[in-house]
Amino acid sequence: MLLNEQQIRAMTRGAARMELENGYYRFYRFTKAEQATYVNHPRKPSFYSATLQTAAIRWAFTTDAELLSFDFFNDRQLIRTSLDVYENGALQRTATVDCQYVQAGKLQIPLSKGEKLVEIYFPYCSYLGVANVSLNDGASFAPHHRRFKMLTYGDSITHGGGATHPSFSYAPRLAALLDADIISKAVAGEHFYPPVVCEKTPEDPDWITVAYGTNDWKHCTKEEFDQNCTSVLQKLTDFYPNVPIFLISPTWRSDLNLNTPFGAPATEIYPQLCKNAEAFSNVIVLDGWNMIPHRTDFFADSRLHPNDLGFGIYTANLYRAMVPHLAKRIKDFI
């Protein structure tokens, strides 16, 4: 059974838009207007390519099919591309393509018998296009939506850097715990970047997370940090005045005492965020510094980016910190 464009759109979560390009459907986290702000990024023009990556995008549908297949095309020569396959909330397998040697082909993903919820997490650092998406002839099919909607901004840690699986970084894990479909606007290496907050999403999110700061500390003066952070918060609250915005300070990093343009240790980012957030009643500042143990073996690079275990601990601590605020602000939350 070949799925049509409407069915593919309906089961795709985390994409701001889907477009047919050269016979393949491509999924984009950023709108065209948001993407345009990265064409001439003042600090790093290469950030534009990160907006094309499919971080936190996934398919979600219920079916009794025993096989999912689709053609794929990847126009960027990465080492490998991996997709995580979940059934009823449990990771069953990972489909991996060696992109050094295979740019296009067909993936066939076996599924278990009976009706189940299938979720396919797309790569966080790849540009995968798909075509000829098929299930067994006569199989049942129904798109699946989670209860809430979550919009997230951030740098490489939010993007997924350091995770061995696209579903193992904190943003998709947190969204799953909170029963939320997520759209990620994360860009690896980014700091508070006001131009990207240029329009509302088609549907209002139930909450927003914003997790910048570690790159700001590395590259910005305190004055630049204050200006950019305040501008991002102002734009978000203008677009979403009644939506909780969780402003998450950076996690621990082993080089916290570097001499940077910010002019203070990385531990000073949290109190600065608290100060910047005072003017916004719907902004809740969470201290991320102690949410991952201060040991290098919880970090993939022994410095900054959490590994799978570090991401798991971080997710659990964020969940515990956010739920009391969500329960107060969102009627009958969980």
| Residue 10 pLDDT greater than 90, yes or no | yes
The pLDDT value recorded for residue 187 is: 97
d(CA 50, CA 69): 27
Instruction: Give the β-pairing of 180-184 and 207-211.
Output: unpaired
Considering the chain, tell me which residue range(s) the CATH 2.60.120.260 domain(s) occupy: 5-143
Q: How many C-beta atoms lie closer than 10 Å to residue 46's C-beta?
A: 11
Cβ(108)–Cβ(129) below 8 Å: no
Phi, psi at 255, each rounded to 5°: -100, 40
- pLDDT-wise least confident of 31-45, 63-77, 184-198, 203-217: 63-77
Which tokens belong to 180? 């939320």
For residues 4-31, average pLDDT: 97
Q: What is the mean pLDDT of the chain?
A: 94
How far is Cα of residue 92 from the mean position of the Cα atoms in its chain? 21
Phi, psi at 67, each rounded to 5°: -155, 130
Q: What is the pTM assigned to this prediction?
A: 0.95
The pLDDT value recorded for residue 99 is: 63
d(CA 213, CA 156): 11
What secondary structure letter does DSSP report for 250? P
Three-state SS at 298: helix
Which tokens belong to 321? 């910190």
For residue 274, what are the CA distances in angstroms to 115, 126, 269, 284?
Answer: 48, 35, 9, 9
CATH class of this structure's domain 5-143: mainly beta
Cβ(245)–Cβ(235) below 8 Å: no
Neighbouring-strand partners of residue 84: 94, 121
For residues 167-194, average pLDDT: 97
d(CA 87, CA 63): 10
The pLDDT value recorded for residue 105 is: 85
Q: How many C-beta atoms lie closer than 10 Å to residue 106's C-beta?
A: 11
For residues 278-300, average pLDDT: 97
The pLDDT value recorded for residue 76 is: 61
d(CA 37, CA 58): 25
Cβ(296)–Cβ(153) below 8 Å: no
Burial of residue 232, with CB atoms counted within 10 A of its CB: 0-12 exposed, 13-18 middle, 19 or more buried: buried
Instruction: Give the β-pairing of 148-154 and 207-211.
Output: parallel
Considering the chain, tell me which residue range(s) the CATH 3.40.50.1110 domain(s) occupy: 148-329
Q: Compute the half-sphere exposure of residue 279: CA atoms within 13 Å on the CB side of its CA.
A: 13
| Residue 227 pLDDT greater than 70, yes or no | yes
Angle subtended at Cα 176 by Cα 171 and Cα 180, rounded to the nearest 5 degrees: 90
For residues 289-318, average pLDDT: 97
Q: How many C-beta atoms lie closer than 10 Å to residue 162's C-beta?
A: 19
What residue has token string 């477009």? 19
The pLDDT value recorded for residue 42 is: 86
For residues 83-108, average pLDDT: 87
Percent of the chain residues topping a pLDDT of 70: 96
Find the helix or strand (DSSP H, E) in which 233 lies.
helix 222-239
For residues 307-326, average pLDDT: 97
The pLDDT value recorded for residue 77 is: 52
CATH of 148-329 given 3.30.9.10, 3.40.50.1110, 3.20.20.70, 2.60.120.890: 3.40.50.1110
For residues 307-327, average pLDDT: 97
For residue 13, what are the CA distances in angstroms to 16, 39, 294, 304?
Answer: 9, 25, 34, 29
| Residue 102 pLDDT greater than 80, yes or no | no
